Structure 1
Amino acid sequence: MPAAASSAAQRPPDPLHYRKKCNKEEHGPNLVELISDAVWEGVSGFVYGLVEIINIAVESNDKLLKS
């Protein structure tokens, strides 16, 4: 019986145990979260710029048609 107890004591702890204990306040944001936030900001900025360009093109086209 002591052999079984010693093998259990030598086994490394579960890595999920550490993940559950970690707080974002202590360790900061996750790298995946940072990358996804940066990609989202880039995509949303690109779409916003594209919509602005289309709006300017439509307005100038309307001005040309009216004259």
Structure 2
Amino acid sequence: MHIVVDTDRCVGGGQCVMAAPEIFDQNDDDGTVVLLRADPPPDASAAVREAARLCPALAITLVEEEQ
């Protein structure tokens, strides 16, 4: 899985940080999403999916890797 965030769409809700704090953070200036790990470990996939689902602005896109 690869994560892409659209900071222009982000409204700074912080849902992603609450769901996956090891993957997402917030910019101190405007609260927008900061991606800490674009390629999260497999054990974080459930939390990352939850973060994307909870995002009110749909600013998180998950790109599944083909196997």
Between 1 and 2, higher relative CO (CA 8 Å, sep ≥ 6) is seen in 2
Asked if these proteins are the same fold (TM beyond 0.5), I'd say no
Instruction: Compare the two structures and name the one with the higher strand fraction.
Output: 2
Q: Give the alignment's TM-score, normalised by structure 1.
A: 0.22
Q: Give the alignment's TM-score, normalised by structure 2.
A: 0.22
Instruction: Compare the two structures and name the one with the higher helix fraction.
Output: 1
